[in-house]
Structure 1
Amino acid sequence: MCEIYSGAEPELFELKTRSIRIDGVVTSIRLEAIFWQLIEEIAEDAGISVAVFLTRIYHEVIARHGKVSNFASLLRVACTTWLNQGKRLVLRQAEDHSLLFD
């Protein structure tokens, strides 16, 4: 069972650091390569750049909680939430499709 996890390509969990600018301030974010790939997909699906996506999520967290305590962790959770929503959407579409043919 664990082969699907332990067999992941090392490049996917290699840490990558990117510099981004939020509100004119340059900061570095260090994430595993797979999370950068997912962030790029999320931004592309939304029709925005990665920089705009990161800035928006940063501002939303500030508006909601008043601060961002661990932005990198927040981004990892955002990625897994996005993946889970996609999974639920696929399941919902499959259920809707099966209802049509029952």
Structure 2
Amino acid sequence: MCQIFAGQDPADYEPETRRLRLNGLSTSIRLERSFWRILDRIAAVQGLSTPAFVSRLHAEVLEGRGEARNFTSLLRCACLIGMQLEADDDLHGPAVQHRALDKGLGLRSLQGRAPSS
């Protein structure tokens, strides 16, 4: 059983640093490659580049909470949510996700929450 976890390719958990802009400021974010791949998929579903998705997420966190404490951990947790959404889509089909995207709704609506008006 543990070989599923212990036997993974070390390249998957190798840290990767990407440079991007958050609120107009250039910064670096360091995450394991597996997390970057998941963020790349989430961004693609949203119709955004990964830097644009991360920047938008950061802005929404600032708007909603006033600060983005431990943003890299927030990104890792966003990956878990993204994987849960993919699993739900595999079970229930992509109809819910596509309806949300067709209405121009963001990630919040994909989590099953009503968007704020």
TM-score (norm 2): 0.75
State how many pairs are aligned: 93
> Residue type matched to 1:31 in 2?
L
> What is the distance in 1 between the residues matched to 2:91 and 2:50?
28
- Structure 1 residue 92 displacement after superposition: 2.8
Asked whether 1:22 is paired with 2:17, we answer no
- The residue correspondences of 1:36-51 to structure 2 (distance < 5 A) are 36-51=36-51
Q: What is aligned with 2:58? A: 58
CA RMSD, aligned part only?
1.0
The alpha-carbon deviation at position 85 of structure 1 amounts to 1.4
Q: Distance in 2 between matches of 1:41 and 1:88?
A: 15
Offset from partner CA, 1:23-57 (integer Å, 9 cap, x none): 22011101000011111111112111111101110
2:52 & 2:29 partners in 1: Cα distance? 15
Q: Provide the C-alpha distance between the structure 1 equivalents of 2:27 and 2:71, rounded to a whole number of angstroms.
A: 11
User: Secondary structure at 1:78's aligned position in 2?
Assistant: helix
1:82 and 1:24 mapped to 2: Cα distance?
26
User: Residue 48 of structure 1 aligns to a residue in which SS?
Assistant: coil
- What one-letter code is carried by the residue in structure 2 that aligns with 1:81? I
Aligned letter for 2:75?
A: L
CA shift for structure 1 position 89: 2.3
Gap runs ≥5 in structure 1:
94-102
CA contact 2:39–2:50 (8 Å) conserved in 1: yes
Q: Does 1:72 align with 2:69?
A: no
What are structure 2's unaligned runs of at least 5 residues?
Answer: 94-117
Q: Residue type matched to 1:54 in 2? A: V
Query: Larger Cα Rg: Structure 1 or Structure 2?
Result: 1
- The superposition leaves residues 63-82 of structure 1 with CA deviations (integer Å, 9 ceiling, x where unpaired) of 11110001110000001101
